Amino acid sequence: MFIIYYWSLNINLILSNRLLILNIMKIKAAIHSSFPRIGEQPEEQKLRRAIASFEAGKITKDELTAIENQVVDETISIQVDTGLELVSDGLIRWYDLASHIAKNLKGFEINGLLRFFDTNTYYRQPVVPGDISSGNGNLSKEIFYAANKAGKPVKGVLLGPLSLAAMSLNKSAMKLSEFSLRLGELLGQEAAMMTQNGAEYVQVEEPWLVRNPEHFDLFRESFDRFSKAKGSAKIILSFYFGDIGKLYDKLGEIPAEMIGIDFTYSPGLLNRITSEGSTKPLALGILDGRNTKLESASQIARSLEAPLKRINGECHLTTSCGLEYLPRYYAIHKLKLTAEVVKLLNG
């Protein structure tokens, strides 16, 4: 009788603890941002062939857009089928994070290739010869297309004002500070339009800041400009490709709905969150977006149980960065693992 009572008491305590976690917060499976545009199979390489044909003058822009739409549709379907609750268009139409945004603002030119941080990928460097101004609306049109196809909440993506300014070749009379502040205003307007066209969240990525934390004050001022222009957009401020530990104490004061963290560069941060907590909801980039090794869903779930109790509000589980650095086969399995971990945590 005592054994049965003791067992029942333990089960009730376990269920109560689980319910306590769920009452405080909810964790959702989300894509970080990008997805591989090209796969291993011939059919999965149709976008590469279409781009080559377009550049050779063999197909029209409309024909290229039709192929892009097909790949976006497939990418969204993969995310929905794997159980993600927040999806993106996979940035399928983007050559890279910097030039795609720059070419859709007025006043930028696009230059040669530079390495994108410590990855094996490159970005086309934006060039600023003079003044810059509001964009052509294409970024929000891409969101409108994805939102109407997904049947799930959709995330828009922007490179943050400081990162875009620092990664561009500035030939204008503007100083870095002026350039970054101006971009804060313009990108805030883009975030507002993305939201008006169906984005549930807009993710603003600042990888350059993580490696240059001495520019935090300029980042903060630029992000304040962004925030004043963003309207009702809900913002995920995302950091990756560097250890965020030095900036962690400052994250709670940033006017964003959620902070995204790459835990592959900040391995001790989960323990710190367990100890200190987080007043700001977090997008937890736990699964490695640059490594084909497939993690254990149960181990990740166990590692998150303690820190999740110390985080205020809704959280997202994502990969550490976009999935464009992985073969498509492994990218899909990373998404499946993301959904599986969330299912384990939510019971």
What is the tens place of the pLDDT at every residue in 156-179? Answer: 999 999 999 999 999 999 999 999
Higher pLDDT, 14 or 118: 118
pLDDT at residue 21 tops 80? no
Whole-number Cα distances in Å, 129 to 79, 167, 174, 209: 40, 14, 10, 24
pLDDT at residue 202 tops 60? yes
- Could you tell me what percentage of the chain is helix, strand and coil, using 3-state DSSP and rounding each to the nearest 5? 50, 15, 30
Task: Say what the pLDDT of residue 205 is.
Answer: 99
pLDDT at residue 19 tops 80? no
Distance between CA atoms of residues 78 and 334, nearest Å: 12
> Band of the pLDDT at 221, cuts 50, 70, 90?
very high
pLDDT at residue 308 tops 60? yes
Task: Say what the pLDDT of residue 135 is.
Answer: 87
Q: H-helix or E-strand containing 17?
A: helix 2-24
* Average confidence (pLDDT) over 316-335: 98
> Band of the pLDDT at 26, cuts 50, 70, 90?
confident
* Average confidence (pLDDT) over 34-52: 95
pLDDT at residue 226 tops 60? yes
pLDDT at residue 16 tops 80? no
pLDDT at residue 58 tops 50? yes
CATH architecture assignment, domain 27-346: Alpha-Beta Barrel (3.20)
Distance between CA atoms of residues 91 and 104, nearest Å: 14
Number of Cβ within 10 Å of residue 114's Cβ equals: 14
* Average confidence (pLDDT) over 263-281: 95
Q: Which neighbouring-strand residues pair with 258? A: 236
Task: Say what the pLDDT of residue 25 is.
Answer: 56
> Band of the pLDDT at 277, cuts 50, 70, 90?
very high
Task: Say what the pLDDT of residue 347 is.
Answer: 84
Here the tokens at position 257 are: 């709905």
Task: Tell me the pLDDT of the chain averaged across its residues.
Answer: 93
Residue type, 64: L
* Average confidence (pLDDT) over 3-9: 43
**Closest residue by Cα to residue 33 from 83, 67, 75:** 75
Which pLDDT tens digit goes with each residue over 234-256?
999 999 999 999 999 999 999 99
CA angle 49, 55, 57 (to 5 degrees): 100
Whole-number Cα distances in Å, 61 to 52, 109, 210, 220, 291: 12, 20, 38, 39, 35
Handedness of CA 158, 258, 222, 177 (dihedral sign): negative
Whole-number Cα distances in Å, 88 to 75, 204, 303, 345: 8, 14, 27, 23
Q: Where are the domains of the chain?
A: 27-346
pLDDT at residue 154 tops 90? yes
* Average confidence (pLDDT) over 30-52: 96
Contact 338, 84 (CB under 8 A): yes
